[in-house]
Structure 1
Amino acid sequence: MSSLPVLNVGFSNIVFASKILAILQAESAGAKRLRLEAKESSRLIDATQGRKTRSVLVLDSGHIVLSAIRPDSLAKRLENGDNSFGKEDEEEE
């Protein structure tokens, strides 16, 4: 069985790494606009578990994923191939 590269975006929610186009700071004007447009067109996926949104992932399908993990932490996970699932999600934020 082959292992597809995935990114843990927090709280055991995963996204296929090959589908990610961009990881943005949640507070940037562009990310806020993308978030609003995605919500209006039912393309918004909230993976924050009620926590503060820290990053916005843009997928090749046009969907927008909200994550409670900082963009730099997600980038490190992508670079290191770290797709582990554990308590670090809850403790990191």
Structure 2
Amino acid sequence: MDIKLINIGFGNIVSASRVIAIVSPESAPIKRIISDARERGQLIDATYGRRTRAVIVIDSGHIILSAIQPETVAHRFLAHKEISNEV
């Protein structure tokens, strides 16, 4: 089994196989998901004090905050997947 990792900014890396969704933090439901994860102790803040631009939901129920755009994270995810398919 090959583990594929995606850079989510500032040297932070997430396992690509565990990612369920990459979303923008602007809507009220996403803000609610973030606050619920914070209360449950399942919030991982990888923004280094910067503004949250992407929210990554993983299969364990953890929520990861990233300071890079959702499109950038998704592009890295898809680029990594295409490279894996070629091998």
Q: Which TM class, normalised by the smaller chain length?
A: 0.7 to 0.9
* Equivalent residue runs for 1:27-38 within 5 Å: 27-38=26-37
**Alpha-carbon distance in 2 for matches of 1:61, 1:3:** 19
Q: Where do 5+ consecutive residues of structure 2 fail to align?
A: 82-87
List 4+ stretches of structure 1 deviating above 3 A: none
**TM-score normalised by length of structure 2:** 0.87
What is the RMSD of the two structures over their aligned residues, measured on CA atoms?
Answer: 1.4
Q: Which amino acid aligns with 2:38?
A: K
1:50 aligns with 2:49: yes
Equivalent position of 1:85 in the other structure: none
Equivalent position of 1:88 in the other structure: none
Equivalent position of 1:81 in the other structure: 80
Say which structure is richer in helix. 2
Q: Where do 5+ consecutive residues of structure 1 fail to align?
A: 83-93
**Alpha-carbon distance in 1 for matches of 2:33, 2:11:** 24
SS at the partner of 2:21? strand
**Structure with more relative contact order (C-alpha pairs < 8 Å, separation 6 or more):** 1
User: Share of identical aligned residues, percent?
Assistant: 49
**Alpha-carbon distance in 2 for matches of 1:4, 1:44:** 23
